[in-house]
Amino acid sequence: MAMGRRRAVHLSRRSHKLARRADQAMAGVRPRRRGTEPAPKTRLQKQRRAKAKASGPFASWQYVLAQAGSQEGLRLLLDGGLFGRSLPRVLGLPTGDRILVLVPHQDDEGIGAAGTLLLAARAGKRVHIVYFTDGATSLGDLAPEEVSRVREAEARRAWQRVPGVTLEFLRYPTGVPDVSADAVQRLGGILDDFAPSEVFVPTFLEEPYEHRLLNRWLALAHRARPLDAGVDVWGYQITTRMPGTAVVDITSVWRRKRRLNRAWRSQNAFLDYAHLAMGQDIANSAYLKGGAVIKPTRAHAEVFLRFSAPEYLTLCDRYLSLAEAYEASLAEHATPNPDFFVVGMQKAGTYWLTAMLDAHPQIRCFPSRPAGGDGSGEAHLFDVLARLDGGDYGRFRKSMSTKLGGYFADLVPADQPAGEEERAALRERLGKRFARYCDEQRRLHGKPLVGEKTTETVHHLDLVEQLFGGVRKVCVLRDPRDRAVSFHFHQIRKGRRDEGPIARHHVEEYIERVRADYAGLLEIQQPFHVMTYEGLSADPVRVLRPLLDFLGAYSSEAHPAALVEAGRFKRLAQRSPGEELAGNHYRKGVVGDWREKLDLALARKMVAELEPLTVRVEERLGLDLSAYRSP
């Protein structure tokens, strides 16, 4: 560490000179020496030149990657401030006039590079933005296909008034585990047709896998069709902080950048990326030290990892090999399993339960908010894994590659595993990766107990035992008639049904859903804990205390009461129970609402057809579900 710090301080002596040269280039001022420097004539001159070459940013990064030893080691070095403000940085815009921007998802370029691109367009440079994926993720109530359409329209709207900017959408599926040969060929064609002087790509240090993936895409295209030696690669940051080698002062366009980022309304509705990008740029303004013009207040800057294409891709290969080695080392070490699963049931108040459990000082239960409100989401691990044995591998691959923000994407092979042994190995790898995600949640939130909620898990308890044998399981039951009503409004909110009363065929469909739920629940193995929504509503403290004991968490009188306060309907829905808001996930929050919304004949039909399974559930679990038969 000390050696690296001394090296960085030594390198900083050249930063003002580099900045001055860049400023002269921007202003059109010729440096004192024209053309290339003459060849050295003496041994001393040769030594000085070799020393200067060995002390540049590229050599510095080579040194750091060599010393890091692992991806995690590099993180420690960077977080420890190895470079800080001492790393030499060139100030100024790209010198060429044709900029190619490679983007994983619509809006990523806005976060990390929009200011520089706006300045480049103002200077008359051509900017061609290529979006790699279709952006089809689950977002609130929108289906992935609709999200893809919305994000593409937002990208066009964001850039339509910026002269010199053109867009291209390749529409590869979001969550792809690797780069296809077709994608490499298409990028090669783009490089030939556009002939860029600079290529912008998310830095290889980016944590999200799909952000880093574009570096592999560029590297493979470079091997097939080498980039010219004069082409520079600018690695831009999206979500990962980094010490760069180039900094661009975007103070004059920061308001335009913020307006541009606000054009992606679908993304900003759940996390204000426009605000986060602005904060990142303000923090980066610390690197403007040494610039031609010092702006003491309201400065904004974008930082890049800029090298010539061969240098950048050399560093990229080194880092990606570290990342792969890190992944392999994680696979060799056992990761603690999740502590529990909330396995069901649908429309039985499971988000209410997870919100209360997540408020406990020892428990991280995700997702604790609907629509990714807490930064996670339902993993759907087991119901997606169940498709692996089905005939639609494409659907399995797409679903598994997108869950939890693409967390499993790199593990999903392009071709379907041929035999049961290969499928079992894939299930095991995905199970270990999910355990790692849970362990990250455990460490991120500083809580020793972690659990996940997906209401379809009750249908696949055999897979739960296969991957996480002996794990605790929690299930919430609710009057099927209330569940049918809640599901009806859920479907209307999602745009899957027209508004109106609950029809007979809707009830018949939901009867089949409840039958599947009960059939799965009858197969549940110890340890498990089952409660009812009605009991939780009537006396939540009394119901929560044994649940906390079951999970091995603190359960004094104060703890259940605090959880109940955290899960109050008014706190979650911003209104009192009984005040109906059909378009909200927390629609009404009352027991017995079926009496107002469900035809009495249809309610009786549900009771009669579910009675045999209801009796079996009562006998198997020792519950009294007589209220589910009441008129």
* Residues of the chain above pLDDT 90, percent: 51
- Asked if the model's pLDDT at residue 383 lies above 80, the reply is yes
The Cα–Cα gap between 355 and 578 comes to 19
The Cα–Cα gap between 624 and 418 comes to 47
Q: What is the pLDDT of residue 4?
A: 42
The sign of the dihedral angle between the CA atoms of 533, 534, 537, 541 is negative
The residue-averaged pLDDT of 6-33 equals 42
The residue-averaged pLDDT of 51-56 equals 53
Structure tokens at 549: 């004991």
Q: Buried (b) or exposed (e) across 134-143, using 16+ Cβ within 10 A?
A: bbbbbbeebe
Between the alpha carbon of residue 540 and those of residues 254, 350, 352, 365, 564, the distances in Å are: 50, 14, 11, 18, 7
Q: Are strands 232-236 and 301-308 parallel, antiparallel or unpaired?
A: antiparallel
The sign of the dihedral angle between the CA atoms of 488, 346, 352, 577 is positive
Q: What is the pLDDT of residue 47?
A: 57
The residue-averaged pLDDT of 414-420 equals 84
- Asked if the model's pLDDT at residue 565 lies above 60, the reply is yes
CB 623 within 8 A of CB 617: yes
Report pLDDT digits (tens) over 512-521. Answer: 999 999 999 9
449 beta partners? 363
Structure tokens at 397: 């691959």
The Cα–Cα gap between 11 and 578 comes to 67
Comparing 293-307, 347-361, 455-469, the range with the smallest average pLDDT is: 293-307
Q: Which of 40-44, 117-121, 556-560 has the highest mean pLDDT?
A: 117-121
Q: Are strands 126-133 and 165-172 parallel, antiparallel or unpaired?
A: parallel
- Asked if the model's pLDDT at residue 267 lies above 90, the reply is no
Between the alpha carbon of residue 537 and those of residues 104, 518, 590, the distances in Å are: 45, 21, 8
- Asked if the model's pLDDT at residue 55 lies above 70, the reply is no
The residue-averaged pLDDT of 102-113 equals 93
Domain boundaries, the chain: 51-330, 334-478+527-567, 479-525+575-631
The Cα–Cα gap between 134 and 149 comes to 8
Comparing 19-23, 294-298, 515-519, the range with the smallest average pLDDT is: 19-23
The residue-averaged pLDDT of 93-99 equals 92
Q: In degrees to the nearest 10, what's the CA dihedral of 464, 470, 472, 476?
A: 50
Structure tokens at 18: 């580099």
Q: What is the pLDDT of residue 77?
A: 59
CB 23 within 8 A of CB 291: yes
Q: In the 3-class helix/strand/coil scheme, how is 110-130 assigned residue by residue?
A: HHHHHHHHHHHHHCCCEEEEE
Higher pLDDT among residues 66 and 136, named by residue: 136
The residue-averaged pLDDT of 602-626 equals 95
CB 219 within 8 A of CB 309: no
Question: In terms of CATH architecture, what is 51-330?
Answer: 3-Layer(aba) Sandwich (3.40)
Q: What is the pLDDT of residue 549?
A: 95
* Residues of the chain above pLDDT 70, percent: 82
Report pLDDT digits (tens) over 491-550. Answer: 998 888 888 899 999 999 999 999 999 999 999 999 999 999 999 999 999 999 999 999
The Cα–Cα gap between 630 and 479 comes to 10
pLDDT band per the 50, 70, 90 thresholds, residue 147: confident
CB 172 within 8 A of CB 105: no
Higher pLDDT among residues 377 and 104, named by residue: 104
Q: What is the pLDDT of residue 445?
A: 87
- Asked if the model's pLDDT at residue 34 lies above 70, the reply is no
- Asked if the model's pLDDT at residue 461 lies above 90, the reply is yes
Same CATH fold assignment for domains 51-330 and 334-478+527-567: yes
Q: What is the pLDDT of residue 319?
A: 82
Which residues make Cβ contacts (< 8 Å) with residue 608, sequence separation at least 6?
none
Quick check: helix, strand or coil at residue 302?
Answer: strand
Higher pLDDT among residues 269 and 599, named by residue: 599
The residue-averaged pLDDT of 190-214 equals 90
Between the alpha carbon of residue 226 and those of residues 100, 158, 553, the distances in Å are: 15, 32, 58
- Asked if the model's pLDDT at residue 222 lies above 50, the reply is yes
Residue type, 44: L
- Asked if the model's pLDDT at residue 164 lies above 90, the reply is yes
Q: What is the pLDDT of residue 393?
A: 85
- Asked if the model's pLDDT at residue 443 lies above 70, the reply is yes
The residue-averaged pLDDT of 174-188 equals 86
Q: What is the pLDDT of residue 514?
A: 96
Q: What is the pLDDT of residue 179?
A: 85
334-478+527-567 CATH: 3.40.50
- Asked if the model's pLDDT at residue 68 lies above 90, the reply is no
Q: What is the pLDDT of residue 493?
A: 85
CB 197 within 8 A of CB 98: yes
Q: What is the pLDDT of residue 27?
A: 41
The Cα–Cα gap between 75 and 65 comes to 10
pLDDT band per the 50, 70, 90 thresholds, residue 209: confident
CB 628 within 8 A of CB 607: yes
The residue count for the chain = 631
Q: What is the pLDDT of residue 405?
A: 79
Average pLDDT, the chain: 84
The sign of the dihedral angle between the CA atoms of 549, 554, 557, 561 is negative
pLDDT band per the 50, 70, 90 thresholds, residue 444: confident
Which residues make Cβ contacts (< 8 Å) with residue 243, sequence separation at least 6?
78, 82, 83, 84, 87, 303
pLDDT band per the 50, 70, 90 thresholds, residue 412: confident
Higher pLDDT among residues 439 and 3, named by residue: 439
